[in-house]
Amino acid sequence: MLQHWRSIACERALDHFETDVGLVINVACLIPSFILGWLRKPKYWAEGNTAPFWKAYTPEVGQNLEEMRARSACETALNEIVDIRDTANSDIRDIAHLAAIALGYIEWGSMTVPG
C-alpha cells in the first residue's frame, strides 16, 4: 500500500510539473525507476566507500533535461511523505539494497544460463 502512495505522489508531482500532457506520458513509465532511485538513497548513493560503485552500477534514471526535471519533482514529492527507507519494522530489512539491486537488473539485465 505504501508503494502505491509513492506512485500517486510522483504522478501528482508530474501533473503540476508540466502542462504538456505528452511529456507527462513520456516520463510516466519512469516513475517506478524514480521511486527505486529514491529508495536507494542515501545508503547506496552517497554513503561509504562503495558509493562510486553503486553510482556506476545504478546510474540516475533520466538522461535528458525533461526526465531529470521529472525525477527531481518525483523525489521532492517522495520526501514530503512518510519515509520508509530506514523503517526497522519493515518486512524488507534493507529496502535500499532491494532498490539498488532492482535498478541494477533494470539497467544491466540478467544473464541466464539455458537449462
Confidence of residue 18 (pLDDT cuts 50, 70, 90): low
The tens digit of pLDDT for each residue in 29-48 reads 888 888 899 888 887 777 77
Q: Which of 37, 47, 43 is nearest to 106 (CA)?
A: 37
For the chain, what's the residue count?
115
Query: Considering the chain, what is the average pLDDT of its residues?
Result: 75
Q: What is the pTM of this model?
A: 0.75
Domain extents for the chain?
A: 2-108
Average confidence (pLDDT) over 67-78: 85
Average confidence (pLDDT) over 89-98: 71
Neighbours of 73 (CB within 10 A): 20
Per-residue pLDDT at 1: 40
Q: Which of 38, 110, 103 is nearest to 72 (CA)?
A: 38
Percentage of the chain exceeding pLDDT 70: 73
Cα-based distances in Å from 109 to 39, 57, 94: 20, 11, 21
Per-position b or e across 30-50, b if 16+ CB within 10 A of its CB: bbbbbbbbbbbbebbbeeeee
Per-residue pLDDT at 89: 54
